[in-house]
Amino acid sequence: MIRKLAVTMVATAALAMAAAAFAQAQFGTAAEAKAMLEKAVAAVKADKAKAIADFNAGAGGFKDRDLYVFCAGPDGVITAHPSIMGQQIKSLVDKNGKKLGEEIVANAADGKIAEVSYMWPRPGADTTPVQKVSYVTKVADQVCGVGYYK
């Protein structure tokens, strides 16, 4: 009886750990988001037009699970994003009314990485907004970011 209980407890713990590991691998992490942004900055500095094209195509490692690069130009028009390209970044508001676009632009600075938190749906069919933290910066004439979902 005790042995059966111990085996059940070990099996339950192993399943819980496996589920947590699967969830971790399914979504991007904060460290991966920051690394992708740093890679995006280098790409924009090297060749802005190619970088923006790669961001939009998800090429060159600029799309990984739920991580992607987004950018807006000097006129505020979104130049890179999986679904809202061409919109004004400053018009973006999350489900709680937070003016996230304005906050992204206000916090982005050349040579610095800032964090902006807001509610945003993960890429895919489920449009339910979840907590997202984006690392943002300014490079050349672009405000760019990469966010991870909590």
Q: What is the pTM of this model?
A: 0.83
Within a domain: 16: no
Within a domain: 7: no
pLDDT of the chain along its 150 residues, tens only? 565 544 444 444 444 433 444 445 899 999 999 999 999 999 999 999 999 999 999 999 999 999 999 999 999 999 999 999 999 999 999 999 999 999 999 999 999 999 999 999 998 889 999 999 999 999 999 999 999 999
Within a domain: 21: no
- Residues 36 and 16: their CA atoms lie apart, in Å, by 29
Residue numbers of the domain that contains 48: 27-149
Number of domains in the chain: 1
138 CB neighbour count, 10 Å cutoff? 20
Within a domain: 12: no
142: left (phi over 0), alpha (psi -120 to 50) or beta: beta
CA angle 130, 83, 137 (to 5 degrees): 75
Within a domain: 35: yes
Joined together, the tokens standing for residue 77 give 């028009």
Within a domain: 15: no
No. of H helices and E strands in the chain? 4, 6
Query: What CATH number does residue 85 fall under?
Result: 3.30.450.20
3-state SS assignment for residue 36: helix
